Each structure stands twice: as C-alpha cells, then as structure tokens.
Chain A
Amino acid sequence: MRDRAARRLPGFVLAVPAWLWLTVFFVVPFLQVAWFSFGEKPGMFGTHSNAVMSLDRYAEAFSPTFFTIFRATLWMSVLGTVACLLVALPAAYFMALKVPAHRRGLLVALVMVPYWTSFLIRTIGWKVILSSEGALAGFMTDVGLVGDPHDLLNTRGAVLLGLIYNYLPLMILPLYVAFDRVDNALGEASKDLGAGRVRTFFQVTLPLARPGIIAGVVLVFIPMMGDYVTPAVLGGAKGTMVGSLIASQFLTAQNWALGSAMAVVLILLTMVVVVLAIALLWGVGWLVHRRTELVVGTVPPPDPRLPTKEVVTA
C-alpha cells in the first residue's frame, strides 16, 4: 500500500527542492531589490525607504555614466565570451573526440584544478605575472612588443585576459560534455558520405553540440557581466565595470534605492543581451540548416503503367 502511495506522488515533487532553493536565494532577494528600487534614500543617515514610491531612481539610474560603464562592461563581456568560445571549442573537441577515453578524466581534472583555487588568488596570480617588474613585462619590453613595462597591468587587455582565464573552465566543460555525447559513428558516417573533416565538423558535430555551446555562452557571459573582482584587481582605473558602480551606491553613497534600480536595470539589460545572443545563435544555425534543408512532402505514387525506373543504374 505504501508503495502505491509513493508511486502516485506527482513528478513535480522531485523539483520542489530546486524551486525552494531558487525562491529563497534568488526570487526573494531579487524581489527585495526590485522593491527597494521604487523607494528613495530617506536622509543623510538612512539607506532606503519605501514611504514614497516612484520611478525616479530609474530616471537617475539611466545616467550617461551608467551607460558608459555598462557599454564598456558589455563590450568586455562579449569579447571575453567570444574569446572563451574560440579557445574552448578546439580544446573541448580535442578532449572529447581525439583523446583516448581513459585519459579524458585526467584532462577534465587539469581543466578544473585551477578552478578549485580561490577566484581572488587566481586573479592576483595574474597581477604578479603582469606587473611591470614581472618576467613577462621584461620579456615583452625586451623584444619590443610593448614600449613600457607598465603597459600590461591596469589595462583593458589585462582585464580581458583575467576574464578569459577565470571563466574558461565554465565554457570548456559544457562543450566537452556536448562533444562527448556526439556519437563517433556520426562523424564516420559523414566522412563515409563524402564530407571532409571540416565540413563534418560544421555540418554534424557543431550543430549537435549547439545546446552545449548555448549553455557555455550563458554560463560565461552572465557572471562576466557582474564580475567585479577581476577588473578591480587587474584593470586599475581602466577596469571599472558596472558591478563596482552598483557597489559604490550601496557601500559608499549608502543609496540602496538607486543601487537597486541600477541592479534591476543591469539584470534586465543582461537578460535582453542573452536572449538576443541565443536568438542569434539559433538564427545562424537555422541559416546553415536552410542550405541543406529538404522537404519532400507528399509524393504521388509512381504511375503503374510506366515501367519502374531503376533507382541505381549500375
């Protein structure tokens, strides 16, 4: 009897812990931030008040300063995501399809091990490497790649490097899983049917890995948009990202209402960008697919009075 009762539990029960988690740690804090964003800073010593509700904070949030920094943040995140994708695609492909199965675990571990180190320590590691006294700066100055050893650290390039380095594993892993799931025989079938390696990759492997690519892009892009540590450590004055702007409202101006409004704008804009990016990826996929699309529809049966044409003429 107990068995049958258990079996009758609806399937969504399995999702309850996940929903609870999301509600408590994501939905509720987000709603609270959204609620603050309609309020105001009540006085010099207050942080927030919802006594007067208005959209004024949004008017303040849409400042040229915000958009200048948002544009820079977006640009860095897009560049960083694209670079991660370009680095991760061949790496994941190699790991999943070119390495004997018993070595793959080792490679996955090698990708993950640096990720177990504190995010901050990893980033500071780059600070040491890029510093004007570091070996890299000396080498690059000597061979004339940079004019001044100070040109490496505290630049946009340093931030980009840090972003790519910090988030690359989050791109490699979903791609690796996606490539790993593509049956080897499909690649052989494609080659058997006349496609070379490159066409096989673009016509078979890549389309089948598309869910992994989308997962990787989302996993990398969204945290990059909100990253605050990497630019602070490696970018100096050039590394101000929108996260530090929001932080200054909460922590320096103590204007939680304005900070919340900025946070809401950031979340919404990031969502718009992500949706656009996914639409773009699907669009590219659709365009590629359209080139090979073939819809047969209903074909009338062959006229029995005519002699049947042999399909394959020897």
Chain B
Amino acid sequence: MTTKATPDPPSGSVTIKGLTKTYGQATAVDGLDLEIRPGEFISLLGPSGCGKTTTLRMIAGFEKPDSGSIMIGGKDVVRLAPYQRDVNTVFQAYALFPHKSVAENVAYGLQQRKTPRAEIRERVVEALRMVRMLDFADRSPTQLSGGQQQRVALARALVNRPGVLLLDEPLGALDRQLREEMQLELKLLQSRLGITFVFVTHDQGEALAMSDRIAIMRAGRIEQLADADTVYNQPASAYVAGFVGQQNFLQGEVSADGTTVETPIVVVEGPAKPDGRPGEPHQAAIRPELISIEPGTVAEGLNTVAGEVLQVSPLGEVIQYLVKVTDETSLLIRRPAHGAVRLSPGDQVLCGWAAEDVRLFPLDTPPDPTTARSPQ
C-alpha cells in the first residue's frame, strides 16, 4: 500500500557518518556520527546552537551537509530531495497550510503521491481519528488551539506512513499540562506504530520522559548517546551531568595522594579515584536528591559539610532545601516529603552523601555556563 519504496530492512534506520555543516565561520554540525535503530524513539537533546535542529534538517533534506553521509533505511539520501526520502517532519510551529482545511492538510501528502481519491479519504479519516481530531476535519487550522494544531501536524506527517518521523521541538509552544499529556500520547503512538521517531528538544525532562535513547549534543557533536537511566545516572561528562537533571558541582583539585578531590569546603570521595594527577583541577557532581540533610553544626570527615538553611520549598512529594555553605557556595538538596525532618531557614544543618553517588570529572573544560546549573 505504501507508495514510498520499501527498501530492504532495516527500514526506519538512520545511519549518519561524519556529518558536517558550517555556516560561514560557524560550525553547526561537526563530524557527527549517529546510528538510529529502526522503531526506536531517539531524542537529540542540547541547548540552542548545539546543532540538533541542523542535524534534523539535514536528515529531512532541507539542508545539504558539507560532508558526511546519511543513510535512511540503508539508502544514501544526501543527494535526494525531501520528498524522495522515507521521512516526514513535524515542524516546530506546525506549519499547517492556512488556506486548506484540516482534512485537506492531512490529505496533501497523499495527493502529491497521486493516491486514489477514495483511499485518500479513508486514510485521512483514520489518521484524524488516531489523533482524535476527526470532529475538526472540515475546520480551518487557524481556528484550532495549539494542541489541536499539533495533533493535525502529527496526522499530516503520519498519514504518509514514513519509515522515520522527525519532530522539531514540536511541544515547545504548548503549555506545561498539555505538553505532558502530549508527551504521553506521542510515546504511546510511537510504540503502537513502531515508526522511528527522531525528536529534537532542549527540554531534558521531555527527552527523559519519552526516549528510548538520548543523544546529548554539544557544539555539533554527540557528547553521550545512551538510554535515559544511563544518561542520568552515569553521565559521560560534566556537561552531560549538568544538562540532564540538576547537579551540585563542587570544584577543587585532586588531593596529594590522588584518591580524593579537595574543594574549599569539603574533601570529596568518589566511587573511584579521580582520573587525574595530584593538584590537577577536578570537580565533583552530586544530585540534589542524593544528599542527606539533618540538624547539626560540626562537619566531620569526607563528604560532609555544615551549613545554614536559606530556603525551604515544599514541592509536593519532595521538599527542596537551599543550604548556604559559604558566602559563595550553596547546595541544592531534595528529600522525600514523607518522613522529612522539619527544618526552617536559619537552622544549622549537616549535609552528606555517599561516595558511590558522587561523579568526578576532570576540569579540563569548564562546564558550559548555559548548562551548569549552580544551585539557587
């Protein structure tokens, strides 16, 4: 039934090798390699300017790479026009045709492929039913809310049965509640259809919630490619650690015996020895939810600091504390609300963590200012 050529398996796979794209002096994508498996939900995550959208647009065919190859379903597509590739795109601002009705928008791709009228109608109805927009079929897209337009854009792309669906920050314009609903829906849809989804986002929460794998991008390259759990718990670099979830970063240097990192406020012991020679700058990252907090005044030993509670924010199931250690340094701490010790601003506290919860990174490249989240 599909009019797009169905190549040999693996249909829906994308293989990218050495992909490079520069705009004048600026390198947007810098020798990127990426292997996307058929049927997986992969997110390209990174701050703006990291090259994720450029990568997506090169897969879609809107930009020509300077060098490198892109194979979709085993077929080299670098020289092919967008409509010759087994992909469809859901655009950031949906890009629905304002002069066509919802149904005509969805039918557009099928009409270009000279699908018989009766089949077009049937498939448009199915696609709209799938995204629960059938009742709006004859309306103009300009009369729809953002979420509704989003669904129509999805139906318009999926009705063509592409091997790969590219989504360019499709939820960015929605309000939070709707965004969370759509995340769930997208994920369900993707697992039901078995289509490869390549999802571009700068929102790590979104990426964590939906993706089978996440490619964290930095300066045109992939910093880490792994599933959500690995990315969160075993970040490959300080950059990843800082971008995914929140972190407390403590900067110091490797101790004389080479086993710990000495920071101005505490000596940090990690799960292993720091990867550096004594005296080299190093940093430790500790997740807020992995730090314990209890009343107390004197810090003793490794991985323990004393401080003063600055702020207590009950966030529902967790309570967030901001603890001032020195004038320059504070720690962000999150504990389960259930069974937490009652603390108020001004209380003297002791904070501590287990050695295996610490991630140590060399400080050869300072954490990107846009990604390192200093606790506040």
Contact surface of A with B, Cβ cutoff 8 Å: 183, 185-186, 188-196, 199, 203-204, 207-208, 289, 292-297, 299, 302, 309-314
Total A-B contacts with CB atoms under 8 angstroms apart: 112
CA distance A204 to B82 in the complex (A): 16
Known: A294-B103, A296-B128, A314-B194. A194 touches B109 (CB 8 A): yes
Query: Which of B87-95, B235-243, B334-342, B364-372 contacts the other chain?
Result: B87-95
User: Across the interface, do B112 and A199 meet the contact criterion of CB distance under 8 Å?
Assistant: yes
State in angstroms the CA–CA spacing of A193 and B162 once bound together: 10
Q: With an 8 A cutoff between CB atoms, is B176 at the interface?
A: no
B64–chain A nearest beta-carbon distance, Å: 13
User: Complex formed: what's the CA distance from A292 to B137 in Å?
Assistant: 14
Interchain CA distance A294-B3 in the complex, whole Å: 20
Q: What residues of chain B have their CB less than 8 Å away from a CB belonging to chain A? A: 1, 60-62, 81-83, 87-89, 91-93, 95-101, 103-104, 107-109, 111-113, 120-121, 123-130, 134, 137-138, 156-161, 192-195
Q: Which residues of B contact A208 (CB under 8 A)?
A: 98-99
- Report chain A residues within 8 Å CB of B111: 292
Instruction: Name which of A190, A193, A293 has the most chain B CB atoms within 10 A of its CB.
Output: A193
Question: What's the least CB distance linking B94 to chain A, in Å?
Answer: 8
B60 close to A295 (CB less than 8 A): no
Question: Which B-chain residue is minimally distant from A191 (CB atoms)?
Answer: B82
CB-based nearest A residue for B121: A294
Residues of B within 8 A of A203 (CB): 108
In the complex, A199 Cα to B89 Cα: how many Å? 19
Q: How far is the CB of B104 from chain A (nearest CB, A)?
A: 5
CB distance from A266 to the nearest CB of B (A): 35
Interface of A is mostly: loop
Asked if B83 and A195 sit within 8 Å, CB to CB, the answer is yes
Residues of the A chain whose Cβ atoms lie less than 8 Å from the Cβ of B156: 189, 193
Cβ contact of B138, chosen from A186, A191, A296, A311, cutoff 8 A: A296
* A189 surroundings in chain B (CB, below 8 A): 89, 91, 95-97, 156
On chain B, the residues within 8 Å of A188 by CB distance are: 60, 62, 82, 89, 91, 95
Contact A196 B81 (CB under 8 A): yes
Are A186 and B134 neighbours in the complex by a CB distance under 8 Å?
Answer: no
Q: What is the minimal beta-carbon distance from A29 to any residue of chain B, in angstroms?
A: 39
Contacts of B61 in A (CB 8 A): 191-192
Contact of A194 with B107 in the complex, beta carbons under 8 Å: no
Q: How far is the CB of B318 from chain A (nearest CB, A)?
A: 40
What CA separation (Å) do A207 and B158 show in the bound complex? 25
Q: In whole angstroms, how far apart are the Cα atoms of A272 and B357 in the complex?
A: 82
Chain B minimum-CB-distance residue to A292: B111
Query: Given the complex, which residues of A lie within 8 Å of B161, measured CB to CB?
Result: 312-313
Contact A193 B103 (CB under 8 A): no
Q: Looking across the interface, which residue of chain B has its beta carbon closest to that of A183? A: B95
Report which of A194, A289, A312 forms a contact with B193, defined as CB distance below 8 A. Answer: A312
Q: Could you list 14 examples of A-B contacts with CB < 8 Å? A: A185-B92, A185-B95, A188-B82, A191-B62, A193-B157, A194-B160, A196-B81, A196-B83, A203-B108, A292-B104, A294-B101, A309-B126, A311-B123, A314-B195
